[in-house]
Amino acid sequence: YERLRDWDKVKKEQENALRLVKQLEQLLYEMDTLRSQVEDNDIDKFDKLTAKSRALTLKAIQEYL
C-alpha cells in the first residue's frame, strides 16, 4: 500500500512538472509574440532586456525534462 502511495506521489510530481514546462513554454511563446510587435530599431534593446529571463526559462525547462 505504501508503495502505491509513493507511486501516486511520483506520478503527481511528474504531472506537475509537465504542467510547469507547458507554462514556461507558453511564456517563451508570449515573449516571441511580443518581440514580433517591437519596432525594428528596438529589437536589440528588447533582446538585451529579455535575454536573462529567456535563458532562465530555458534552463528551467531543461531541468524539469
**Is 65 in a helix, a strand, or coil?**
coil
Quick one: pLDDT at residue 54?
96
Quick one: pLDDT at residue 1?
60
Quick one: pLDDT at residue 3?
73
CA distance 9 to 26: 26
Per-block mean pLDDT, blocks of 10 residues, the chain (65 long):
79 92 96 97 97 96 87
CA distance 20 to 34: 21
Quick one: pLDDT at residue 48?
98
Q: pTM of the full predicted structure?
A: 0.78
Cell numbers at residue 35, please? 518581440
CA distance 7 to 5: 5
Quick one: pLDDT at residue 15?
93
Contact residues for 30 (Cβ-Cβ < 8 A; gap 6+) = none
